[in-house]
């Protein structure tokens, strides 16, 4: 027997309509590319999204067509989120940090019809324009006064385009399984692959984002969205914030410590979210401004890479802010687990809470998790056994765009994340490593992530990466590659002595190399493939001992 409730489709337009009606005055603040801080609100964003939707219709884009953005976090990018998906078109958010040849690859793969571009990226597109076969025109996200001279063909100004349109529109209603947005994985190996979200998956994920035990965002929050709108829907925050009417603060292109700090302070930010590298830049600034205070910052969502213990500690010590360590993937919309404390942890000393917080968190409602061995047998949730981490659920991909990679789920719909993890009896998941990055030493596994987390706890270390280097006796041994802090002094021997009491004896790196910088992927993760290439022939001191 079917239930008798209304089958109202879950559509992205309902989010912005809701916030415009119930939280119309709530601010959306952006540091603009042109310079000044810009203020608008949900009511205006809804109105302008409708103008933009009307403009898109006059441009002749059809239901299901892809419209791309190459842009920083700003109110205009937010308007595109709602206008494009709201009309039943697909918003393709391009990561500008991809290599240019990857950008033309994904534009052609997605068959983008129009590209909306921030001033910063106009030259990038000028270099690629002859290769972008499907693109009918470009829209520069600025006003007439700032329109650049450009060789891009069929180019228009965003504000002029909007200015010519009415804000009268009733968002169309269609099947909730319609595609809404498209985001390509950064493709550290092979071509990037497209993850195609639907309205249904996005709205369900938004409920997930707002739940009290996940990000717990609500109308009292002011959220600084450092995670880019071009990276996995900025972790779903632009949608979740509209669902609950939270204030949004966008940093534009200014990700330096000073600019980020000023927004945190001046906009009364209560929640912020970003990858660890951004917080390292903030800490560098804070090191030089010891009296810097933030009275409102309460929660910091850190994900994309493991949040080091020292980072969680610093947010706590300096601002009394609680880190919510999160894990997910582009393929998962992206939220999988979120690290909040359980009631039994609340009375424990901070040191003990830290042990819980360094884990990547507990599975959220909507995401099934399990770990398996290489034969696919499920492993116990005892916090010790580690294996391949598999996920499934309504906001997890069922296959890449245009069937790249073929069938990616097992017969029971489980998706292999490529991560290796433990699950403990309380449901906390901890990533040991990417399966490709784990170091295999004498038949045992060493977690590069654990070693990196410990190494960055040293006061003179800015950033650290650990990779496996071939070893005649042990197959692989860890090599620690370190970027020192400006003015920081530390030697190989100091670092090894610092690590020794903190890790298992046989995990101690065999050598330490100091470099000026580490390579990163387009989403800010350590690019280990490149490091492994660079140090492929590196001779560990212990290797010659073993050979003798
Ligand atoms: P990309 O587009 O670079 O693949 P994703 O955000 O989709 O970006 O990357 C997902 C991967 O990032 C995960 O599979 C995992 O390896 C890593 N990751 C994400 N969050 C964390 C975290 N909190 N700790 C450790 N690794 C993480």
Q: Is the CB of 306 under 6 A from ligand 1?
A: yes
Radius of gyration of the chain (CA): 24
CATH of the domain at 443: 3.30.300.30
Q: Respond yes or no: is residue 79 known to be catalytic.
A: no
Q: Is the CB of 337 under 6 A from ligand 1?
A: no
Q: How confident is the model at residue 435 (pLDDT cuts 50, 70, 90)?
A: confident
- Asked which of 205, 235, 254 is the last residue of a domain, the reply is 254
Residue in 257, 320, 307 with CA at minimum distance from that of residue 285: 257
Distance in angstroms (rounded) separating the CA atoms of residues 185 and 201: 18
Q: Is the CB of 303 under 6 A from ligand 1?
A: yes
542 C-alpha vs ligand 1 centroid, how far in Å?
32
**Beta carbons of 54 and 83 less than 8 angstroms apart:** no
Q: How confident is the model at residue 189 (pLDDT cuts 50, 70, 90)?
A: low
Instruction: Count Cβ atoms below 10 Å from residue 213 Cβ, excluding itself.
Output: 12
**Residue 62 neighbours by CB under 8 Å, 6+ apart:** none
pLDDT at 522: 86
418 C-alpha vs ligand 1 centroid, how far in Å?
10
Answer whether residue 382 is part of any domain: no
Angle at 106 between CA 105 and CA 109, to 5 degrees: 90
**Which residue(s) pair with 439 in the sheet?**
446
b/e 96-118 (16+ beta carbons within 10 angstroms → b): bbbeeebbbbbbebbebbbbbbb
Q: Which region holds residue 234: left if phi is over 0, alpha if psi is between -120 and 50, else beta?
A: left
Our mutation pick for probing the ligand 1 site, out of 305, 333, 367, 522, counting the most ligand atoms within 8 A of Cβ, is: 305
- Asked which of 254, 281, 309 is the last residue of a domain, the reply is 254
Residue carrying the six token digits 């239930």: 3
Q: Is the CB of 419 under 6 A from ligand 1?
A: yes
pLDDT at 197: 98
Does residue 314 register a pLDDT over 60? Answer: yes
Continuous segment of H or E residues that includes residue 15: helix 13-22
| 339-to-2, 258, 319, 436 alpha-carbon distances in Å | 37, 28, 19, 24
Q: Is the CB of 434 under 6 A from ligand 1?
A: yes
Continuous segment of H or E residues that includes residue 434: strand 428-434
Distance in angstroms (rounded) separating the CA atoms of residues 384 and 421: 9
Does residue 546 register a pLDDT over 70? Answer: no
Q: What is the mean predicted confidence (pLDDT) over 112-132? A: 97
pLDDT single digits (tens) 71-91 = 999 999 999 999 999 999 999
**Beta carbons of 32 and 38 less than 8 angstroms apart:** yes
pLDDT at 28: 98
| 62-to-50, 59, 211 alpha-carbon distances in Å | 16, 9, 35
Q: What is the mean predicted confidence (pLDDT) over 105-133? A: 97
Answer whether residue 307 is part of any domain: no
- Atom in ligand 1 nearest the alpha carbon of residue 525: 3
Ligand 1 atom 10: the closest Cα is on which residue? 329
Does residue 548 register a pLDDT over 70? Answer: no
Q: What is the mean predicted confidence (pLDDT) over 155-169? A: 98
Answer whether residue 295 is part of any domain: no
Q: Respond yes or no: is residue 440 known to be catalytic.
A: yes
Mean of the per-residue pLDDT values for the chain? 95
Instruction: Enter the DSSP assignment of 526.
Output: B
Q: Is the CB of 339 under 6 A from ligand 1?
A: no
Q: How confident is the model at residue 307 (pLDDT cuts 50, 70, 90)?
A: very high
Our count of domains for the chain comes to 2
Ligand 1 atom 9: the closest Cα is on which residue? 329
Answer whether residue 327 is part of any domain: no
**Beta carbons of 203 and 239 less than 8 angstroms apart:** yes
Determine the structural domain holding residue 195 and report its residue range.
13-254
Does residue 465 register a pLDDT over 60? Answer: yes
Residue carrying the six token digits 């700003």: 74
Q: Which pair of tokens denotes residue 357?
A: 């917080």
Distance in angstroms (rounded) separating the CA atoms of residues 445 and 436: 12
Q: Which of 79, 176, 267, 331 is catalytic?
A: 331
Residue in 7, 34, 262 with CA at minimum distance from that of residue 148: 34
CATH of the domain at 170: 3.40.50.12780
Continuous segment of H or E residues that includes residue 514: strand 511-514
Q: How confident is the model at residue 426 (pLDDT cuts 50, 70, 90)?
A: very high
The overall pTM is greater than 0.75 = yes
Residue in 397, 392, 387 with CA at minimum distance from that of residue 412: 392
Does residue 117 register a pLDDT over 90? Answer: yes
pLDDT at 540: 87
Instruction: Enter the DSSP assignment of 386.
Output: E
Does residue 507 register a pLDDT over 60? Answer: yes
Q: How confident is the model at residue 47 (pLDDT cuts 50, 70, 90)?
A: very high
In terms of C-beta density within 10 A (0-12 exposed, 13-18 middle, 19 or more buried), how is residue 62 classed? exposed
Q: Which pair of tokens denotes residue 212?
A: 């009290």
Q: What is the mean predicted confidence (pLDDT) over 357-382? A: 97
304 C-alpha vs ligand 1 centroid, how far in Å?
4
**Which residue(s) pair with 247 in the sheet?**
222
Q: What is the mean predicted confidence (pLDDT) over 396-414? A: 96
Answer whether residue 426 is part of any domain: no
pLDDT at 20: 98
Percent of the chain with pLDDT over 90: 91
Q: Respond yes or no: is residue 445 known to be catalytic.
A: yes
Q: Give the 3-state secondary structure percentages of the chain, helix then strand then coil, rounded to 5.
A: 35, 25, 40
| Orientation of helix 276-288 relative to helix 309-319, angle to 10° | 50
**Residue 369 neighbours by CB under 8 Å, 6+ apart:** 336, 337, 363, 389, 390, 391, 423, 429
| Helix, coil or strand: residue 46 | helix
360 C-alpha vs ligand 1 centroid, how far in Å?
11
Answer whether residue 266 is part of any domain: no
Q: How confident is the model at residue 67 (pLDDT cuts 50, 70, 90)?
A: very high
Q: How confident is the model at residue 6 (pLDDT cuts 50, 70, 90)?
A: very high
45 C-alpha vs ligand 1 centroid, how far in Å?
31
**Which residue(s) pair with 92 in the sheet?**
68, 182
Q: Respond yes or no: is residue 331 known to be catalytic.
A: yes
- Asked which of 254, 273, 296 is the last residue of a domain, the reply is 254
In terms of C-beta density within 10 A (0-12 exposed, 13-18 middle, 19 or more buried), how is residue 523 classed? buried
Instruction: Count Cβ atoms below 10 Å from residue 317 Cβ, excluding itself.
Output: 10
Answer whether residue 56 is part of any domain: yes
Distance in angstroms (rounded) separating the CA atoms of residues 58 and 51: 11
Q: Is the CB of 420 under 6 A from ligand 1?
A: no
- In 5-154, at which residue ranges do the beta strands (DSSP E only) sit? 27-31, 37-41, 66-70, 90-93, 112-117, 137-140
Answer whether residue 83 is part of any domain: yes
Instruction: Enter the DSSP assignment of 151.
Output: -
pLDDT single digits (tens) 468-486 = 999 989 999 999 999 999 8
pLDDT at 290: 87
Task: Give the total residue count for the chain.
Answer: 548
pLDDT at 545: 64
Look at strands 386-392 and 368-372 and give their pairing: antiparallel
Distance in angstroms (rounded) separating the CA atoms of residues 334 and 326: 10
> What separation, in Å, do the N-terminal and C-terminal C-alpha atoms of the chain show?
76
Q: What is the mean predicted confidence (pLDDT) over 141-166? A: 97
pLDDT at 187: 65
Does residue 547 register a pLDDT over 70? Answer: no
- In 83-220, at which residue ranges do the beta strands (DSSP E only) sit? 90-93, 112-117, 137-140, 155-157, 179-184, 194-198
What distance lies between CA 545 and its chain's CA centroid? 43
């Amino acid at each position: 027997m079917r239930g008798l409730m209304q089958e109202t489709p879950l559509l992205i337009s309902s989010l912005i309509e809701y916030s415009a009606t119930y939280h119309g005055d709530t601010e959306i603040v952006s540091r603009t590319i042109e310079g000044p801080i810009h203020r608008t609100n949900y009511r205006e964003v809804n109105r302008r999204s409708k103008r933009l939707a009307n403009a898109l219709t006059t441009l002749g884009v059809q239901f299901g067509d892809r419209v791309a953005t190459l842009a920083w976090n700003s109110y205009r990018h937010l308007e595109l989120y709602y206008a494009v998906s709201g009309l039943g078109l697909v918003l393709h958010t391009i990561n500008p940090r991809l290599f240019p040849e990857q950008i033309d690859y994904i534009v052609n793969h997605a068959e983008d019809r129009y590209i909306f571009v921030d001033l910063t990226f106009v030259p990038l597109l000028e270099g690629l324009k002859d290769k972008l076969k499907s693109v009918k025109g470009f829209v520069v996200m600025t006003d007439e006064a700032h329109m650049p001279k450009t060789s891009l063909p069929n180019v228009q100004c965003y504000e002029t385009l909007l200015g010519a349109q009415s804000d009268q529109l009733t968002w169309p209603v269609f099947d909730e399984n319609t595609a809404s947005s498209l985001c390509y994985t950064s493709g550290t190996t092979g071509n990037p692959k497209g993850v195609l979200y639907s309205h249904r998956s996005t709205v369900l994920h938004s409920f997930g984002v707002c739940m009290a035990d996940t990000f717990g965002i609500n109308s009292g929050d002011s959220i600084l969205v450092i995670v880019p709108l071009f990276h996995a829907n900025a972790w779903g925050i632009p949608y979740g914030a509209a669902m609950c009417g939270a204030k949004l603060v966008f940093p534009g292109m200014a990700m330096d410590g000073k600019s980020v700090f000023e927004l945190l302070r001046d906009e009364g930010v209560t929640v912020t979210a970003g990858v660890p590298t951004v917080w390292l830049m903030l800490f560098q600034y804070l090191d030089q401004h010891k009296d810097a205070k933030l009275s409102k910052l309460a929660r910091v969502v850190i994900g994309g890479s493991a949040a080091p213990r020292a980072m969680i500690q610093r947010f706590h010590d300096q601002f009394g802010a609680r880190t919510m360590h999160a894990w997910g993937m582009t393929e998962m919309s992206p939220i999988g687990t979120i690290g909040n404390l359980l009631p039994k942890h609340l009375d424990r000393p901070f040191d003990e809470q830290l042990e819980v917080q360094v884990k990547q968190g507990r599975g959220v409602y909507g995401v099934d998790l399990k770990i398996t061995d290489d034969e696919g047998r499920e492993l116990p949730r005892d916090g010790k056994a580690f294996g391949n981490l598999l996920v499934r659920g309504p906001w997890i991909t069922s296959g890449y765009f245009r069937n790249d990679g073929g069938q990616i789920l097992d017969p029971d719909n489980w998706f292999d994340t490529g991560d290796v993890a433990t699950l403990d009896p309380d449901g906390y998941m901890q990533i040991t490593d990417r399966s490709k990055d784990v170091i295999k030493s004498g038949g045992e596994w060493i977690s590069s992530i654990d070693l990196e987390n410990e190494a960055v706890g040293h006061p003179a270390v800015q950033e650290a990466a650990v990779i496996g280097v071939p070893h005649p006796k042990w197959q692989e041994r860890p090599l620690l590659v370190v970027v020192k802090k400006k003015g920081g002094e530390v030697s190989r021997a100091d670092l090894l002595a610092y690590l020794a009491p903190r890790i298992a004896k046989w995990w101690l790196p065999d050598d330490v190399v100091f470099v000026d910088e580490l390579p990163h992927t387009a989403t800010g993760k350590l690019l280990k493939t490149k490091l492994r290439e660079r140090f492929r022939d590196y001779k560990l001191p212990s290797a010659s001992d073993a050979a003798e």
